[in-house]
Amino acid sequence: MLESWRWFGPQDPVTLSHARQAGAHGIVTALHHIYDGRVWTPDDVAERMALVENAGMVWSVCESIPVNSAIKLRDKNWRRYVDAWKESLANLGRGGVPVVCYNFMPVVDWTRTNLLYPTDVGGFALRFDMVDFVAYDVFVLKRTGAEASYDAALVDAARQRLAAMSEEDVETLERNIIAGLPGGEDSHTRETIRGHIHSFDGLSDSDMRANLVEFLREVVPVAAENNVRLAIHPDDPPFSLFGLPRVVSKAEDIETILAAVDETANGITLCAGSYGSRHGNDVVDMARRFADRIHFAHLRNVSKEDDGSFIESEHLAGDVNMVSLISVLRAEERRREATGRADTIIPMRPDHGHLLIDDQTKTVNPGYSCIGRLKGLAELRGVIAAVDQFEGEMA
């Protein structure tokens, strides 16, 4: 597996030098400063590629080209944004970027309610608390019809939770949910997010799925022509937020996506933490089922709770059996090598490391501090070595 590292560009407080010191060989990055639907030009791509290569690494994955809401809604501006997306995709491929990860989440990207949840050992983790989220949706945002979206007991618990919050607590909760997290394209205010949510009124899961399929029919041929493998990222969390449709959340969704355009270039990002935070998803089984179309892996872990809440756990803890998952991915790499596929090595990265030690005194992107991810990458590297030795001895 290609050990990779998320880097948000020159403004990232965790530098390319830090990534190389952590042992990464691949860099997962994007042109985050160009997020408004403009085409990423060959010069834009070449400039970023040079920064990565001059640091002694390769640009292993672009994560992500923003998918504008016009594409998700398939509205009157759809063609303009799709054509620009295709041109950016082609320019990445011509510039030597082999994998493009993207997502199809409406309005909000990956979402957490607490960015500094204390761990038992003194660090801080990311957390999604369902009660807190419902409190915000129903009683702070006051989304039309929000209360009917949830079980009455959950709404009552949310009402009590909100009553115990200070004004500062509410402001922090709102900022965590709607102000934008690293890698997301949109930052909202309370007023603007109401408008964005309203624009999706009446759009069902079926409608959203159909719009995704139309998008795939447009972009997959461009990817194949330019030697790029597309890797759709799951919804995070993989269930509806704000009553919005979510169509990349479970195995049946992956089946639909892959069957819609049955080409190797149309693949998935196997995000263990995202898929693992939905009850009923067996991440290891999903990896086995869709192994030949896994083009990228996010190896992080979560611990779920009954009401849909979850905490980002240590990489080798949590509900996903990381050893078994890595065993599946390494077996797929060996199978690809034996069958002559060019993409024998799957890029992976540690994700959402805990905030540890003196990183707690620094300004860092939530989930993307250096030490927590360095720790996670080292643990994953050890698992890969152990799996390889065991498989070698069994051969």
Positions annotated as catalytic residues are: 233, 271, 298, 351-352, 368
In the numeric block, which tokens belong to residue 55? 């640091």
| Coil, strand or helix at 283 | helix
Query: What stretches of 209-363 adopt beta strand conformation (E)?
Result: 229-232, 266-271, 294-299, 301-304, 310-313, 347-350
- Taking each helix axis as running N to C, give the angle between helix 42-54 and helix 78-94, from 0 to 180 degrees, rounded to the nearest 10: 40
Pairing relation of β-strands 347-350 and 229-232?
A: unpaired
Query: What stretches of the chain adopt beta strand conformation (E)?
Result: 2-6, 26-29, 58-63, 99-102, 114-118, 124-128, 229-232, 266-271, 294-299, 301-304, 310-313, 347-350
Name the one residue in this structure whose structure tokens are 């330019």: 226
Residue 76: C-alpha distances to residues 83, 244, 334 (Å): 13, 20, 46
Burial (Cβ within 10 Å: 0-12, 13-18, ≥19) of residue 76: exposed
d(CA 216, CA 395): 40
Q: Can you give the C-alpha Rg of the chain in angstroms?
A: 20
Residue 119: C-alpha distances to residues 50, 316, 336, 354, 366 (Å): 39, 15, 40, 9, 15
Half-sphere exposure at residue 140, Cβ-oriented, CA atoms within 13 angstroms: 27
> What is the number of other CB atoms lying within 10 angstroms of the CB of residue 91?
19
Name the one residue in this structure whose structure tokens are 């596929």: 341
| Coil, strand or helix at 260 | helix
d(CA 256, CA 253): 5
Nearest to 209 by CA among 249, 242, 243: 249
Name the one residue in this structure whose structure tokens are 């022509």: 225
Under 8 Å CB-to-CB from 337, ≥6 apart: which residues?
Answer: 344
